[in-house]
Amino acid sequence: MKIILTQEVSGLGTPGDIVEVKNGYGRNYLLPQGFAIAWTKGAEKQVTVIKRARSAREIRDLGHANEVKAQIEGLKVNLKARAGDGGRLFGSVTPAEVVEAVKAAGGPSLDRRRLELPGHIKSTGSYPVSIKLHPEVTAKFNLNVTPS
């Protein structure tokens, strides 16, 4: 089955890529989750629109990725969250909240889907967080979760 990816799928490709997958994987997982659209003859226009949007959002090249990495790794990122007794949070920290905390600390705006959290963050403390900026560049920083 030929499909066009609309989001990054690890081990498969990036948005706008045309890939061949098994019928069940495409029909039962990729299409219903919105990770891909079915390939048709008229899909060429959709592929160009997806690639254009991705290039506007994406880190331009390796040099730019290294600049952003240096900027991120120099930040002190603090996130205030509602917590109860013993530092246990009400809920957990989401990638969107981490991206907002990075922006509030003076960092660049990031794509929350490229963020790699160390599991579910459900208590206060310091956590190592990494973000994949480029296929060859990964930035790491510490996230300090404090009670509000």
For residue 111, the model assigns a pLDDT of: 83
For residue 133, the model assigns a pLDDT of: 83
For residue 55, the model assigns a pLDDT of: 66
Distance CA 77, CA 130 (A): 12
Q: How many domains does the chain have?
A: 2
* Domain endpoint, select from 57, 80, 102: 57
Mean model confidence pLDDT for the chain? 86
Cβ neighbours around 82 below 10 Å, total: 9
Same domain for 83 and 136? Answer: yes
For residue 60, the model assigns a pLDDT of: 62
Same domain for 66 and 52? Answer: no
Residues in the chain: 148
For residue 80, the model assigns a pLDDT of: 93
Same domain for 71 and 135? Answer: yes
For residue 23, the model assigns a pLDDT of: 94
Mean pLDDT of 119-131: 91
* Domain endpoint, select from 10, 41, 57: 57
Report in angstroms the alpha-carbon separations of 78 from 26, 56, 101, 144, 148: 40, 28, 6, 5, 11
Distance CA 95, CA 62 (A): 24
Instruction: List pLDDT tens digits, range 22-81.
Output: 999 999 999 999 999 988 878 877 787 767 776 665 566 778 888 888 888 888 899 999
Q: Which domain range does residue 44 map to?
A: 2-57
Name beta bridge partners: 79.
145
Is the per-residue pLDDT at 113 higher than 90? no
Same domain for 88 and 139? Answer: yes
Same domain for 70 and 130? Answer: yes
Same domain for 111 and 73? Answer: yes
CA–CA–CA angle 137, 58, 12 (5° rounding): 75
